[in-house]
């Protein structure tokens, strides 16, 4: 019998907000491990907006390498075409067995999106959610949205008081674009990878 956390996302790039949230939840829920699953071709974001999936995966791999409880998973990247959480969960059930419990970790921004996920009611049966507050979001709507999903659709969502880490991948990309430092906002290995590969430099790359 095992308890596995899932941290899904674009991870464009992975930052310390993701790592701290996953670590807090792993500890609070006594999870055996947390799988970090970078999305393949995300259904909601056009190709051009998303840095090559191999770069995103490599940064996740580097960021989690020093934690024995964390694992980078290629499950969505290796699947052809669009990836949906429902398929990922079905495959994980097959791999880890029926008796494994899955805890899908999400930030407050994802809670109101859950109802737009493909076969979301099936997703609610396949895993429990652990929802972490993010700064800039209303706590009141956070709790009321969770309550509505639980009452209306049988979702199991555990809100947790994790630390509020005010960092997003959007901010990291913007800082890179402006030539600002991303030191301490991402794992050192990720900072090195971004600089070596000249990621997120946007127009700067064209000499502008
Ligand atoms: P972007 O700005 O590109 O949307 P992001 O920082 O939101 O990037 P994602 O890859 O979209 O990162 O997020 C993956 C998951 O991690 C989502 O569930 C998101 O809510 C959560 N998450 C992201 N940043 C934080 C943070 N600072 N604290 C807690 N959860 C976070
Ligand atoms: Mg996001």
Whole-number pLDDT of residue 206: 43
Question: For atom 29 of ligand 1, which residue has the closest CA?
Answer: 107
Q: Output the 3-class SS for 79-123.
A: CCCECCHHHHHHHHHHHHCCCCEEEEEEECCCHHHHHHCCCHHHH
Model confidence, pTM: 0.94
Query: Which among 188, 184, 163, 185 has a CA at the least distance from the CA of 172?
Result: 185
**161-205 pLDDT per residue, tens:** 889 999 999 999 999 999 999 999 999 999 999 999 999 997 544
Domain boundaries defined on the chain: 3-166
Question: For atom 28 of ligand 1, which residue has the closest CA?
Answer: 17
Q: How many CB atoms lie within 10 A of CB 8?
A: 21
- Distance (Å) from CA 9 to ligand 1 centroid: 7
- Distance (Å) from CA 201 to ligand 2 centroid: 20
Provide mean pLDDT across the span 92-119. 97
* Banded model confidence at residue 207, pLDDT cuts 50, 70, 90: very low
Whole-number pLDDT of residue 205: 46
Percent of the chain whose predicted confidence (pLDDT) is above 70: 92
**32-61 pLDDT per residue, tens:** 999 999 998 655 666 666 678 999 999 999
Question: Crossing angle, helix 188-197 and helix 53-64, to 10 degrees?
Answer: 150
Q: Taking 80 as the threshold, does the pLDDT of residue 13 lie above it? A: yes
Tokens in use for 7? Answer: 């941290």
Tokens in use for 102? Answer: 């899955």
**CATH class held by domain 3-166:** alpha beta
Most confident of 70-84, 148-162, 191-205: 148-162
Lining ligand 1 with CB less than 6 A are 9-12, 17-18, 21, 106-107, 109-110, 132, 134, 165, 167-170
- Distance (Å) from CA 196 to ligand 1 centroid: 24
Whole-number pLDDT of residue 147: 98
For residues 57 and 28, is the Cβ–Cβ distance under 8 A? no
Ligand closest to 39 (CA) is 1
Measured CA to CA in angstroms, residue 167 lies from 15, 38, 45 at distances of 7, 18, 20
Question: For atom 30 of ligand 1, which residue has the closest CA?
Answer: 107
């Amino acid at each position: 019998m095992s308890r596995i956390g899932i941290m899904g996302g674009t991870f464009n790039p992975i930052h310390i907000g993701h790592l701290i949230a996953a670590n807090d939840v792993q500890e609070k829920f006594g999870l055996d491990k947390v799988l970090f699953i970078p999305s393949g071709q995300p259904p909601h974001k056009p190709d051009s907006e998303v840095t090559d999936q191999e770069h995103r995966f490599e940064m996740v791999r580097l960021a989690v390498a020093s934690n024995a409880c964390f694992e980078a998973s290629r499950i969505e990247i290796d699947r052809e075409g669009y990836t949906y959480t429902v398929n990922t969960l079905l495959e994980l059930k097959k791999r880890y067995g029926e008796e494994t419990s899955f805890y899908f970790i999400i930030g407050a921004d994802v809670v109101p999106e859950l109802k737009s996920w493909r076969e979301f009611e099936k997703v609610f049966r396949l895993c429990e959610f652990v929802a972490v507050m993010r700064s800039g979001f209303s706590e009141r709507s956070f709790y009321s949205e969770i309550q509505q999903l639980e009452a209306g659709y049988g979702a199991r969502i555990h809100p947790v008081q994790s630390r509020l880490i005010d960092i997003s991948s959007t901010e990291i990309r913007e800082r890179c674009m402006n030539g600002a430092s991303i030191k301490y906002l991402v794992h050192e290995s990720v900072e090195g990878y971004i600089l070596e590969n000249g990621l997120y430099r946007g127009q700067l790359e064209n000499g502008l």
